[in-house]
Amino acid sequence: MRGIPTQSRVVKKVLFIQHGDVDKPGLLADALSAEGVELEIRHPYLGEEIPVDLRCFDALALGGGGQSAYQIAEFPYLEEERELVRKAILADKPVLGLCLGAQLIAMALGANVCRAEQRELGFFPVTMSASAVSDRLLSAWPSPIYPAHWHGDVFDLPVGAECMASSALTPNQAFRYGRATYAFQFHIEMTAALFEELVDDSAADLMALGVDLEALKKGAERVLPALKDTAIAFFKAWARLTKTKNWPLSM
């Protein structure tokens, strides 16, 4: 009698959903490669299908993008992503959201996402919360940190989530939900080169707003290298959550 097949795959896989040509995984890809974790990227904005079988990946990451999380009529795949987030959380798979990705996680958990009173664009201080100080993945982060901000929407804190960071303009900059779901309104995956690419791609819109493009690029070159080691260490630790179900939440 044939036995039940067992899963023999040792290499873990993270599914990354990319929302635009310049919205790349950045430092997340570097960290996963260093951890020996496979990264699969899907591009739903180009018509690629979003997987529905949770067995094809061990963790889920959602990147930023020019869409708004509530623009379901214009971008129907965003609802598919929110459903995938819900399924992944219920299956206790690590989930990570960056900017738009964080907003999609918040909505998947029942929280509101809406236009911010003021766009947050540039490099501004983010203060870590008391919960972050005791969080095993975030406790080593300096406070304040100066990440890249690029958003015009904000999210409310989902019920049951813990706020991990805030800024002067955005009270909810980051949260953790459960054991392994982390959402960041800011861009910890960003490198100076990737940020410059983002600025160039949005040059016309930024100039219409009176934004100094060169000042933005110089800010990225000045600020982002200092955050690289912190971001890489976090992404590595998050990836390791795929390998254990008994990771304690706090120090």
Under the banding of pLDDT at 50, 70 and 90, the label for residue 206 is very high
C-beta of residue 232 within 8 angstroms of C-beta of residue 27: yes
Domains of the chain: 13-119+151-190+228-243 (3.40.50.880)
3-state secondary structure of 172: coil
**Which H helix or E strand runs over 169?**
none
Whose CA is closest to 21, among 38, 46, 47, 50?
46
Count of CB atoms situated within 10 Å of the CB of 69: 27
- Confidence (pLDDT) at 81: 98
pTM over 0.85: yes
Whose CA is closest to 19, among 86, 82, 87, 66?
66
Whose CA is closest to 188, among 89, 63, 94?
63
Q: What is the pLDDT of residues 71-107, one digit of tens each?
A: 999 999 999 999 999 999 999 999 999 999 999 999 9
